[in-house]
Amino acid sequence: MAPNAAMIAVTGVDGSVWTLAGQGRGREGVELATSPSGLYDAPVTTIWNQSAFQTGSSFGGYRTNKRDVVFAVNVFEAAGRPWETVDSAWRKAWAYDRDAVLTITTDFGTRSLRLRMSEQPDFKPDKDPHLKGRSKVVMTCVAGNPWWVESDVTGVWTSTIDTTGPNSSQHGTIGIANPTDQPMWVKWVCSAPGRWTLPDFSWAADDDADRTIALPLTAAGQDLIVDTDPMEEMIVAADRSQIWALMNGVSFLYPVPAYTPATEVPVTVTGAPAGASVLAVQPRNWSRPWGLQ
C-alpha cells in the first residue's frame, strides 16, 4: 500500500486553522513551500572537556536547545478571499509572545510543536502581489519546548475498599509505558482524603530499583497534582495549601527511560474511602515529527 502524504497544519494564536500540506492543502489560501528547516531532530549541543595536557577531549554530556524553525509559505487568493485578505489573516495567526501550534499527521499518528515568531516575516516580492494574487512569505520561528508532542496517555487505579480504619491500606497497579525516544516524567493526580504511596523507580539494577515515595496525608478538598519533572512544581494541592512543606525535602528523582515497555507499577492508598483514585498522566515527547517508534 502506498504511503499517504503527511498532513501539516497550523492552528493560529487566534484559533484559525491552516492546512499547509497533505489532504486539503492550501484550501485556506496558504501552502507550505519547499525546504523548511528545523523540523527534524531536536537541536543538541554536545559538551567536550579538555585538561591542560590531555590529548583530545572527554565527553561531558549534551544539552537540548530551543528549536529554531524557518519555513516559507505561498499565500494566494482562495475561498473567495483576495490575496491581501488571506495574507493579513495568516499574519494575525502568529505572535511573538504566544504560541501557534504546528501539527503533523502521518499514518502512525499526530505530533505537535508549539511555535512563535522570533523575527518578523520576510517578504520580498518581485512584483506587486495585488496584481499577481500570490506571494511567498518566510517565517522565522522558535519552539522553546523543542519536542514534538503526542497526546498524553493515562492510566488509572481506583480503590475498592475503605481504608480509613487503623492499619488499613489497599495496593494496586497502574500500567506505565514510554515508547518514545525521550525520558518521560510522569504526572500523578491523587484524590483526597487519603495518603498515597507512588513509585519512583530508577529503572536500573541498583538500590533505587523499587523506590517509592509516600505523600503527605490529605484532607477532603486537597486533591493533589504531583509532577515528577524537576523543572516543574512537584506537588500542588487543590486548595493551594502548602502540602509540599510536609515532604521534608523528599523529591522524585527518576524519569521513565526511553523505550520502556508496558510495566505495571505499584500504588498504595490508606486513610481513604472506597473509590479513591490515582491517575498517571504519561507525556509523549519525541525528537522528530514522525518515526523513532
Residues ≥6 apart with Cβ < 8 Å to 55:
none
- DSSP H helices, the chain, are 83-92, 129-132
Query: In which band, very low, low, confident or very high, does the pLDDT at 212 lie, cut at 50, 70 and 90?
Result: very high
Each residue's pLDDT tens digit, 14-35: 999 999 999 999 999 999 999 9
Asked if the model's pLDDT at residue 2 lies above 80, the reply is no
173: left (phi over 0), alpha (psi -120 to 50) or beta: beta
On the question of pLDDT at 187 being above 80, the answer is yes
Instruction: Please calculate the CA angle 66-72-77 and round it to the nearest 5 degrees.
Output: 140
E strands, the chain, in order: 7-11, 17-21, 30-32, 44-49, 58-64, 67-76, 100-106, 109-117, 122-123, 134-143, 148-158, 169-178, 187-190, 195-199, 212-214, 224-227, 235-237, 260-270, 277-286
121 SS3 class: coil
Report the percent of the chain where pLDDT is more than 90. 90
Give the E-state strand segments of 223-259 in sequence order: 224-227, 235-237
Average pLDDT over residues 262-274: 97
Q: Give the dihedral of Cα atoms 252, 253, 258, 263; nearest 10 deg.
A: -50
Q: Is the pLDDT of residue 182 over 90?
A: yes
What architecture does CATH give domain 150-286? Sandwich (2.60)
Other CB atoms within a 10 A radius of the CB of residue 235 amount to 21
pLDDT at res. 127: 87
| Cα angle, residue 209 at apex, residues 257 and 224 outer, rounded to 5° | 75
Locate 162 and state its grid cell: 475503605
Q: What are the residue ranges spanned by the domains of the chain?
A: 7-38+66-146, 150-286
Q: Give residue 211's pLDDT.
A: 96
Three-state DSSP at 90 gives helix
Beta carbons of 86 and 76 less than 8 angstroms apart: yes
Secondary structure percentages of the chain, helix, strand, coil, to 5:
5, 45, 50
**Of the candidates 74, 16, 64, 73, the residue with the CA atom closest to the CA atom of residue 41:** 64
Which three three-digit cell numbers place residue 204? Answer: 536500573
The answer to whether residue 44 scores a pLDDT higher than 80 is yes
Q: Do domains 7-38+66-146 and 150-286 have the same CATH topology?
A: no
Say if residue 232's pLDDT is above 60: yes
Under DSSP, is residue 55 helix (H, G, I), strand (E, B) or coil? coil
Alpha-carbon span 234 to 229, nearest angstrom: 7
State the average pLDDT for the chain: 95
pLDDT, tens digit, 9 for 90 and up, residues 49-101: 999 999 999 999 999 999 999 999 999 999 889 999 999 999 999 999 999 99
CA distances from 72 to 99, 182, 243 (A): 18, 29, 49
The answer, yes or no, to whether the previous bond of 193 is cis (omega within 30 of 0) is yes
Residues 6+ apart with CB under 8 A from 191: 223, 272, 276, 277, 278
CATH of 7-38+66-146, one of 1.20.1260.10, 3.30.559.10, 2.40.30.210, 3.40.630.30: 2.40.30.210
- The span from the CA of 73 to the CA of 26, in Å, is 10
Q: Is the pLDDT of residue 1 over 80?
A: no
